[in-house]
Chain A
Amino acid sequence: MPKITYKDFQGGSKTIEVENGLSVMEGAIQNDITGIDADCGGSMACATCHVYVEENWFSKLPKAEDAEVDMIDMAFEPKKNSRLSCQIIINDELDGLVVTTPEKQT
């Protein structure tokens, strides 16, 4: 199973194995990773699963849809490497992905 690393804004880090087909958000929720709220449950209707994707991984992800980018406008402190973790679906190619959660989601 692909390994995903979740870092927090204070430098803490947790690496877990997430099943293919799940989203980076689901991986976090199922493994009690703090820093991802996912209020809307993954329907791209809120921006509380916002993460910063490590630069070298960002370009490897499928491009965000317009709706996702619009939603990121509403996130807490969006940056160039911002994504909604509910929209990143895990597959073998993402083994080793590193994301950082923002200081807060709301």
Chain B
Amino acid sequence: MKKTDAIIIGAGPVGLFAVHQLGIKGLKAVVIDNLDKAGGQCIELYPDKPIYDIPAVPECTGEQLTTRLLDQIKPFKTELFLNERVDEVRQDKENWVVKTNNKKEFSAPNIIIAGGVGSFEPRKISLKDAEKLEDKSVFYAVKNKEQFKNKKISIFGGGDSALDWALELSKFSKITLIHRRNEFRGAQHTLSEIKKLEKDGKVSIKTPCQIVSLDDVNELKSITIKFDDGKTEKISTDVILGFFGLIMKLGPIAEWGLNMDKKTIEVNSKNFETNKKGIFAAGDICSYPGKLKLILSGFHEVALASVECFKRARPNEKYRFEFTTSSKTIQNRLGKK
């Protein structure tokens, strides 16, 4: 079990800035996130979209904001545990113990939940049979492309993931690309490659249509799709790959005994503590009178929460408010001489 001063759940902008606010106060933290990279919604939903309301940054994209925050917290050498979802939170005397889906355990007097709207999960095909065949013949991500060699693959979706995998897997498999409308949204280069493959008969494109059924429940052999005009077609298929984007699910957070308001966690607006001492919530996931779901609000929330974190992690020390411009201690922590 790893011991630290604060466990931060969520590696979005607010979780990352929490590392900074704790770090300048001399507190160590770990960050846990379900995604495979830091950045949260900024990186998953709008990496290329400009943000215009970060103070003193007139314009930056979700990706730039994430890169800059990671840069800003570099001096604290904080460990990021990615691809890990926090499943359990339990109390152990003065500390909280957190357990992830991969059975990693962490212990700290403080938890800061900066979980946005919960964890991202792929949207799935809403057919019962698709659920039964998940991870056998129905997949929502490609982890090992070897397993998709020499197969008849039906790829669903109209965005970059669907197009990129259609392109890649067409090198050694027969691909049918299926989308609910005629337009695909992807890099121009990818689109023209796909069109070329269609001409050469290597990729077959079916639009506008959606899946109606999987034809054999025990072993996938074919699927039936339905076009907008009502016509149906059977497509010989060994493997279905669905790329319908990600949805956000609150997940296990709802079961930790915190006071909730719909999908948000109630906090006080003094130090953003929840109804459990030592568990804080900040960013989009917290609610209090007047709450605004803005990144800058999240920054403010973790700044205040970190003061209470200090008091809990260092009960015998007195908290001193300091400015980064003038404090030698903070400058040392930041590696500035």
A residues at B contact (CB < 8 Å): 37, 39-41, 45-48, 66, 69-70, 73-74, 76-78, 80, 106
Q: CB < 8 Å: which of A45, A76, A78 contacts B180?
A: A78
Chain B 131-166 per-residue mask, 1 if CB under 8 angstroms from chain A, else 0: 000000000000000000000000001110000000
Q: Is B246 an interface residue (CB 8 A)?
A: yes
Classify the secondary structure of A's interface with B. loop
Do B123 and A74 touch across chains, with their CB atoms under 8 A apart?
yes
Do B248 and A106 touch across chains, with their CB atoms under 8 A apart?
yes
Do B247 and A74 touch across chains, with their CB atoms under 8 A apart?
yes
Q: Please, which residues of chain B bring their CB within 8 A of the CB of A106? A: 123, 247-249
Bound-complex Cα distance A106 to B244 (A): 12
List 29 A-B pairs, Cβ < 8 Å. Answer: A39-B263, A41-B284, A41-B293, A45-B41, A45-B45, A45-B46, A46-B45, A46-B247, A47-B245, A48-B247, A66-B185, A69-B181, A69-B183, A70-B158, A70-B185, A73-B157, A73-B158, A73-B185, A73-B244, A73-B245, A74-B123, A74-B244, A74-B245, A76-B126, A77-B126, A78-B180, A106-B123, A106-B247, A106-B248
Bound-complex Cα distance A70 to B185 (A): 7
Q: A45-B41, A46-B248 are in contact. Are A70 and B159 (CB under 8 A)?
A: yes
Which of B179, B181, B247, B248 has most chain A Cβ within 10 Å? B247
Bound-complex Cα distance A74 to B284 (A): 21
Q: Please, which residues of chain A bring their CB within 8 A of the CB of B185? A: 66, 70, 73
Known: A46-B117, A70-B185. 16 other contacts (CB 8 A): A37-B263, A39-B248, A39-B263, A40-B117, A45-B46, A46-B247, A48-B247, A48-B248, A66-B185, A69-B183, A73-B158, A73-B181, A74-B123, A74-B244, A106-B248, A106-B249
Q: Is B261 an interface residue (CB 8 A)?
A: no
Which of B157, B179, B180, B284 has most chain A Cβ within 10 Å? B180
Q: Is B228 an interface residue (CB 8 A)?
A: yes
Closest to A41 in B: B293
